[in-house]
Amino acid sequence: MPIELKIPNIGESISEVQIAEWLKADGDEVKKDENIAMIDSEKTTLELPSPESGRLKILHPAGDTVKIGEIVARIETNGAPGKSKTGEAETAKAESGKRKAETESKRPEKKEPPKKVTEPQKEKSPKPENEQPEQEPEAVEQKPGVQEAKTEREVSPPPAAKTIVGREEEVIPMTMLRRTAAKRLVEAKQQMAMLTTFNEVDMSVARALREANQEAFQERYQVKLGFMSFFVKAVIDALKQFPQLNAEIRGNDVVYRNYFDIGVAIASGRGLVVPVLRSAERMSFAEIERAIADFARRAKDGKLKPDELEGGTFTLTNGGVFGSLLSTPIVNPPQTGILGMHAIQERPIALQGQVVIHPMMFLALTYDHRIVDGREAVLFLRRVKEAVENPARMLIEV
């Protein structure tokens, strides 16, 4: 009896998904709970497990867009195990080759046509020297070269067509996640009055604090102490001082929040995703690092849940992990701000009248100028800078 494989409900706002990839071929034997397909929604990529063991019958190929609840495959559970589509194709190919060999063996042998003997191959009796000048005009009258050209055409294959190498094109459909991200980024540019302000932060104290506590921190919490937890804490400290960057516009109203759901941008194999740290103000350094590590791992495996990507009141993105020195991030609507972190570089700076070399990082704050004025944006970024350069001030809230 066939079991229907339907697209499950993966979120209130999601009505359709795209079949990104079938992990099994049509006709393959699958086991219960074995992942057989990857599906893309507008927010994340998810795995689709088999409801039962049996033979897979695919109804929609990879690349199709299907509705929630639509049947995309069937699992035949009571049929005898059969060959997969690949196996059947190989068997058919072998049988076809066998039949062709048998047919050719029964055909009568073709006799080869007698070979043409060209004029130069004929044996000629020796002639006196005085007769040779008389034969040369005869050869001219018989159109010399005609026979040779004919023989050359019969033996040589036609010249191959010339092809240009290195100018091929490959057309690959955009994933639903990529299409949705592209659409929202364009909408953000069209609907917001975005502006970016910059600053730089001295990472000396944060780096020393991290190195001094790394071993004990990792032994106790089984996760490394990174810089992201420093910035999450510093951003929350600044958002408390400048709530416009933790708000959103709804129609003609401004909605201020007293909670801090911080989105952290993570690069996955299928695109950028932004899982959210809920109530991050209540989280410790260890809880933040554990949550981010878990997000990164599940983003790579396509196991993030749609509700983990919804909401968010402010976003952090770290292009520095890829070597970016400076960039202008785009705000994720309906949020009003995003902080871009960048690569840490040893640079000379002036400190107390002397030139010293310190580990420095450029910061970029992009904000919605409709609700955030330049003054608040600049002071917010300066507050983040001061908090990272002196983490102790966050503990005493000064």
pTM of the model: 0.69
Question: Which of 112-126, 183-197, 238-252 has maximum average pLDDT?
Answer: 238-252
Integer Cα distance of 26 and 226 in angstroms: 45
**Domain range 176-396, CATH class:** alpha beta
Give yes or no for residue 341 having a pLDDT over 90. Answer: yes
Q: What mean pLDDT is reported for the chain? A: 82
Bridging pattern class, strands 35-40 and 45-49: antiparallel
Q: Model confidence over 208-224: pLDDT tens digits?
A: 999 999 999 999 999 99
Residue 365 backbone dihedrals phi, psi, to 5 degrees: -110, 115
| Structure confidence at residue 271 as a pLDDT band (50, 70, 90) | confident
Catalytic residue among 64, 301, 307, 373: 373
Cα 70 from chain centroid (whole Å): 26
Average pLDDT of the segment spanning 183-202: 92
Given this model, what pLDDT does residue 344 score?
Answer: 97
Domain locations in the chain? 2-76, 176-396
Give yes or no for residue 125 having a pLDDT over 60. Answer: no
Q: Is 342 a catalytic residue?
A: no
Give yes or no for residue 133 having a pLDDT over 60. Answer: no
Fold adopted by 2-76: OB fold (Dihydrolipoamide Acetyltransferase, E2P) (2.40.50)
Given this model, what pLDDT does residue 93 score?
Answer: 53
| 45 vs 130 pLDDT, higher one | 45
Lowest mean pLDDT among 68-77, 127-136, 178-187, 272-281: 127-136
Give yes or no for residue 14 having a pLDDT over 60. Answer: yes
Neighbours of 160 (CB within 10 A): 6
Give yes or no for residue 396 having a pLDDT over 50. Answer: yes
| Structure confidence at residue 95 as a pLDDT band (50, 70, 90) | low
Given this model, what pLDDT does residue 109 score?
Answer: 52
Lowest mean pLDDT among 7-11, 100-104, 220-224: 100-104
Given this model, what pLDDT does residue 84 score?
Answer: 42
Given this model, what pLDDT does residue 153 score?
Answer: 47
| Structure confidence at residue 96 as a pLDDT band (50, 70, 90) | low
Given this model, what pLDDT does residue 40 score?
Answer: 84
Given this model, what pLDDT does residue 138 score?
Answer: 46
Given this model, what pLDDT does residue 81 score?
Answer: 44
Two tokens, residue 213: 């506590």
Catalytic residue among 26, 294, 358, 369: 369
Q: Is 369 a catalytic residue?
A: yes
Given this model, what pLDDT does residue 272 score?
Answer: 84
